[in-house]
Amino acid sequence: MIFHHRISYLLARLLLIVMFWMVLYGCQGTRVEARQTLDKLPSLEHALKMSEFRNLSKKSPTQGISKPDITLEVKRSYSLILARREQLEISNEVKGHFEKAVTQAEKKFEEEDGDITQSAITKLKLGLAGTLNDISRFNSDIALAQLKLEKFLGVQWAKQVDISEPKFEPVDFPYQTPEGSSKCMDSGKNMQGSDLYDLRESIIEANKAREQLTLASKNRKMTRALLVTEAANYDFGIGNEADLFEALIIYTRVLVGYFEAVHSFNVAVYRVQSLCLN
């Protein structure tokens, strides 16, 4: 008797578990979406797996979109979040320099320092305004990219999302020339006709982006050194507003441009990979 009660108890628990999973994931072709709340950006590998699972649902808004296209959109949005994160850090640093410079310049002007002019103060304020505009744009781009990932991953984001952990680096892409690319990036897939043309075109675009990235990378250290020098000179009173303004503008353009180049290169490579998956 005890044995039969035990069996009945176990069967009842098993039935409850089965019913739970049927409600959570659906049965007989009907899937109930369970939207996971994320407070941290997952790794790209994890995000891609989540997008694959999401596309299994017949109620998913990604139904009808091919797997290569979904993969490309996930990678593109993911890369954009990381690029804008780095650009935000740069812009916030520049914002601090501009704010400090404006305060010091206005103080000098009030003390009737002959070396400071209203024009110099105006330029610093305009530089600050431009930086604030960049910060607003970068934050908006991150929000839009997260919204896209919500669609493709089937998740929702917490109010505060930690995006600090994943590194943002150029992806590995050893292919230098389109010649000999009939076998798509070692995938074993033979590309012919218009597909081969598209592949060769995409590899050329990736290599162009690589060249731009190489040029941007060479200027990073020099630009950083320039800003450190000019900011220190200004703080010690041996530099002027014009030199600091120019250094901040150059630093912003070069560093923001570098991470834009990384993003452009990565997306170009992702397009090549997408063609190989089609």
Q: How far is CA 224 from the centre of its chain?
A: 22
Token pair 């024009």 in the structure block, residue: 119
In order, the DSSP letters of 73-116 are HHHHHHHHHHHHHHHHHHHHHHHHHHHHHHHHHHHHHHTT-TT-
162-202 pLDDT, tens per residue? 999 899 999 988 776 665 455 566 555 666 677 778 888 88
Tokens of 70: 């979904």
Separation CA 215–CA 232 (nearest Å): 27
Show contacts of 160-165: CB within 8 Å, 24+ apart: 160/39, 161/38, 161/39, 161/40, 161/41, 162/39, 162/40, 162/41, 163/40, 163/41, 163/81, 163/82, 163/85, 164/85, 165/40, 165/41
- Type of residue at 254: V
pLDDT of residue 183: 57
- Which residue positions in the chain have pLDDT lower than 50? 2-3, 18-33, 180
Tell me how crowded residue 134 is: count the other CB atoms within 10 A of its CB: 20
Provide the pLDDT for residue 60. Answer: 76
Per-residue confidence (pLDDT) for residue 24, from 0 to 100: 41
Which pair of structure tokens corresponds to residue 160? 């505060």
In whole angstroms, what is the distance from residue 46 CA to residue 41 CA? 10
Cβ–Cβ < 8 Å for 145, 44:
no
Pairing of strands 36-40, 155-162: parallel
Arch. (CATH architecture) of 33-277 = Up-down Bundle (1.20)
DSSP summary character for residue 185? G
What's the pLDDT score for residue 201?
86
Q: What are the pLDDT digits (tens) for 71-101?
A: 999 999 999 999 999 999 999 999 999 999 9
- Give the CA count within 13 Å in the CB-facing half-sphere of 31: 16
Q: What is the pTM of this model?
A: 0.81
Residues 116, 98: Cα–Cα separation, whole Å: 15
- pLDDT number for residue 177: 65
The phi and psi torsions of 37 (rounded to 5 degrees) equal -95, 125
DSSP bridge pairs for 156: 37
H or E stretch covering 258: helix 241-277
